[in-house]
Amino acid sequence: MKALQLLDIDVSSDLHELTKHGTPNFPCAGYDEDPGKYLVGNIPWHWHEEIEIIYAAEGDTLVLCGETEYLLHPGEAIFVNCNVLHKLKRGYKDVPCRINSLLFTPELVSGFPQSIIEQRYIVPLIRCSALPEVVLRPEIPWQKDAIHRFRSAFSAFVSDRFGYEIVVQVELMQMLLVLLEHLEDRVCETDLVQNKDAVRIKQMLGFIHAHYAEPLTVSQIASASSISESECYRCFRKVLDTSPIDYLLQYRIRSAAGLLSGSDMSVSDICYATGFNSPSYFAKVFRQELLVSPRKYRATHQNNLGDAKQRM
């Protein structure tokens, strides 16, 4: 099975990734990619129902999960639980990196519906508020074992050899067993409850995504979650480590990049369609963010996006 390199992901207004990974009869997908090659130089904020394991194969990768960020060095990995808001980018903007990742539904490692494995182990894990993510370092023996299990699963996935699906499933189950054995005291029966700030962020991001082409103020963004401007600033800084206006600007640039690479609209029309009121300002901000002009970005990316956007 081929591991893919993407250039963009599709998300809904609340940052829910829209595409399912894998197929109904084998709900697992693998990716071998550099986050810096995405439209605006990072894999943007998103969440999904699948479990995700991310391994740093080359270079340093910065993984942001909710309010926490982790710099993964080569050989390190991170477990990202279901429904956890996360973002990935190069550890250093101009230094390429490479990650291997597997995304799979909890059902893949549950055996069958209502099995003892599902009820006793998998459901408590994916609903545990204490384990939104787990960083795995090779210098810690049990974490080294977990990383080894992932690498075996990924290697089998990309080999496409006879029986690779069995190897992937077994190795992922073994990896989760290692995590459960060593984090048993943190695994709880309670639901993975989103904290108040995460809920507010999703509401405000939904508003930005729906209205980004219009003139927006911080007051309007804050009103989407019925909070004050100061609370809006605090919430964005705490959860996303940015300001509401900077996020709005980055989202407009990302939307413009998508139109430049995927449509025949003129640069001026794209400028106004994505909320900018001046082509010269648009070109200036675009160059500051992506280090190239809109026209050069279009020339470089327009012919390459189509093949990379297909997810399994």
Domains and CATH numbers, the chain: 28-186 (2.60.120.280), 196-308 (1.10.10.60)
- Rounded-to-integer distance, Cα 101 and Cα 32, Å: 7
Task: Kindly report, residue by residue over 226-253, the tens digit of the pLDDT.
Answer: 999 999 999 888 888 789 999 999 899 9
Work out the average pLDDT over 99-121: 92
* pLDDT at 309 > cutoff 50: no
Helical spans, DSSP H, in 183-293 = 196-211, 218-223, 229-240, 244-262, 267-273, 279-290
Question: Which range (1-10, 267-276, 279-288) has the least confidence?
Answer: 1-10
Residues 273/309/37/302 CA torsion (nearest 10 deg): -50
Tokens of 134: 């787990």
- Rounded-to-integer distance, Cα 293 and Cα 285, Å: 9
Task: Kindly report, residue by residue over 42-98, the tens digit of the pLDDT.
Answer: 998 899 999 999 999 999 999 999 778 999 999 999 999 998 989 999 999 889 999
Greatest CA separation found in the chain?
A: 62
- Rounded-to-integer distance, Cα 4 and Cα 309, Å: 9
- Rounded-to-integer distance, Cα 114 and Cα 172, Å: 19
Q: Which residues contact 241 (CB under 8 A, 6 or more apart)?
A: 64, 69
What pTM was estimated for this model as a whole?
0.79
Tokens of 49: 């129902």
* pLDDT of amino acid 308: 44
Tokens of 131: 């384990």
Q: Model confidence at 268, in pLDDT bands (50, 70, 90)?
A: very high
